[in-house]
Structure 1
């Protein structure tokens, strides 16, 4: 028991501060990526009862604009993690929607397992997997369209912005890998 509790103390140090330049590039990328998705959402789709803006995209922005070298931030993970999780989420809700607590637990846990198995682990995918269960009637009505829009389309828009912005400074390179 003592060894188990000792592991919770941690032994490493906090990561070093990033440069002001890195902060500015992260800010610019996240601003442009989220602005593009939000603008399309509010100006084009929301008028027709469709959506493009997801809370999980905020977490993706942290990774693809702020932690560009992380394996979890790479295009394979961004797209695969969101899309796979969205498919699982919609399926879980359709099969288990009468038990929302169970649908939520199944959607997130199965998504994590499949992201591991497919090497597409992207933590915001867990949130994407939860949204179709807790998202309300407007999300439920989308069914599998949820996978295409907002999930795949929004992630693709953010990826294009990440490819452009993250490769402007000489100190950044994105992606580290595609597949």
Structure 2
């Protein structure tokens, strides 16, 4: 019975954030994703190279909307994505005939490695999964997936986060680097 009681939760819903916080989160996310997308679509579309992956949307939530979270810090953003991309590509290449196993192993191993290295960044799990399920455009990149789109896109979004998140007096990013 105690097991099921834990599922009720024990806390309250967090308080609403201010309109200013919503605005700066929106602006950061818009500019960060726009910067990556503006470099991707005109210059890389149709080349077989990528600069944008779905997990960047989740990163935007953290680095622009939850900037004080340990999960949103530069160490976590960069380390989480890069390590997870490495794990995802390796799992795909080792287990390609068994995609269900490659997908599960990639995500689980990425989480374990992020914990071990203190770089936990939830979108990293998606980055690892995308390396496995992403299709030919992703698979053809091999380990280049780690550098382009993952590392390069994350760095671009980080630069935007550093510039935008520090404009208002009441916001500071990052809380820590290492």
Under a length normalisation based on structure 1, what TM-score does the superposition of the two structures give?
A: 0.98
Give the aligned partner of residue 146 of structure 2: 147
Give the aligned partner of residue 174 of structure 1: 173
* Equivalences for residues 1-179 of structure 1 within 5 A: 2-179=1-178
Q: 1:46 aligns to what SS in structure 2?
A: coil
Q: Which runs of 5+ in 2 are unaligned?
A: none
Q: 2:140 aligns to what SS in structure 1?
A: helix
Over 4 Å off, 4+ runs: none
Number of residues of Structure 1 aligned to a counterpart in Structure 2: 178
1:21-54 deviations in whole A, cap 9, x for unaligned? 0000000000000000011110111142211111
Q: Which runs of 5+ in 1 are unaligned?
A: none
